[in-house]
Structures are given as structure tokens and as C-alpha cells.
Amino acid sequence: GLVIGAGGVLVELLTDSVTILLPATRDAVVDGVGKLRVSRLLGGFRGNPRGDREALIDAILSIATLALAERGRLVEVDVNPLMVLKEGRGVVAVDALVRICE
């Protein structure tokens, strides 16, 4: 499975994560993101700008595609944090680790 959740300090504070079974459909990722407590922040919580939910979903699907393509050799994938920018501006992986064994 693929675990998604709040990053940084929020991981420890909120214990906010969801596991998505692979292969993941777009609907499963949308549902998983919607179950996260922090998903409310993507909607423009308390007057803040809306986050780019579609770019987040696309990024998660890309990671799931990588995991399936390399399933026999993939040891670990960790993207943290994946910053969600304002709606229409995408996401940015600040740090990522992909370990594949030969």
C-alpha cells in the first residue's frame, strides 16, 4: 500500500494518515486525500487560498505508478514534504528518497 498523510510536525501532532491499496485508481486517491484531517486546508480553510488538490492527486498517482513499475526492486519511497501550492500552481517535492535494489 501507499501511505499518505500530513507531513512535518503535523504527522506527530495529528496522527493523520491513510493507506491506499495498489494499484491505485484516481477515485481511491481522491477518497484517501478526502479522509485526511488536513484535507480541509486544501479547501481554503479560514479564508486562506485553496490548495492545488488536483496536482496533489496527480503527484500521488505518479508515485503509485512508480511503485507498481518497480515493485520487484523498490525498497522505499519517501516524499516529505510535498508542498501543496495555491490552486493552479501545482505541488513541490522539497525532499524525496527513492531506493531501488538491483
- Please state whether the predicted TM-score (pTM) of the whole model is above 0.85: yes
38 within 8 A of 13, measured Cβ to Cβ: no
Evaluate whether 84 touches 42 at the Cβ level (below 8 Å).
yes
pLDDT, average across residues 25-34: 98
Distance (Å, whole) CA 85 – CA 89? 6
Angle made by CA atoms 61, 101, 2, in degrees to the nearest 5: 25
pLDDT tens for each residue of 42-83: 999 888 999 999 999 999 999 999 999 999 999 999 998 999
What is the 8-class DSSP label of residue 25? P
Q: Is 33 helix (H, G, I), strand (E, B) or coil?
A: helix
